[in-house]
Amino acid sequence: MQDGRSNYHTGQPFKQFSKGVRTGLPVAIGYMPIATAFGALAIKANLSPQETVLMSACVFAGASQFMAITMMLQSADGIQIVIATLFINLRHLVMSMAVHHVVQSPNRLWRALLSFGITDETFALLTLQKTRTKTDSSPFFAAGLIGIAYSSWVAGTAFGSLGSRIIPLSISAAMTIGLYAMFIGLVMPHVRRSVRVACITGISMTLNTVLAPMMDSGWAIVISTILGASFGLLWKETAM
Smaller CB distance to another protein: residue 37 or 125?
37
Minimum separation from the CB atom of position 186 to another protein (A): 6
- Name the residue nearer to another protein (CB basis): 1 or 82: 82
Question: Least distance (Å) from another protein to the CB of residue 9?
Answer: 19
Least Å distance, CB 23 to another protein, is: 20
Residue from 100, 133, 154 nearest 20 by CA: 133
Give the closest residue to 60 by CA, choosing from 180, 142, 149.
149
Least distance CB 87 / another protein (angstroms): 6
Rounded Cα distance between 66 and 234, Å, is 29
**Please, which residue, 18 or 159, has the CB nearer to another protein?**
159
Nearer to another protein, 16 or 224 (CB): 224
C-alpha to C-alpha distance for 65 and 56, rounded to whole angstroms: 8
Cβ–Cβ under 8 Å, residues 211 and 194 = no
Start-end of H helices in 90-240: 91-102, 108-115, 120-127, 139-163, 169-193, 195-211, 217-231
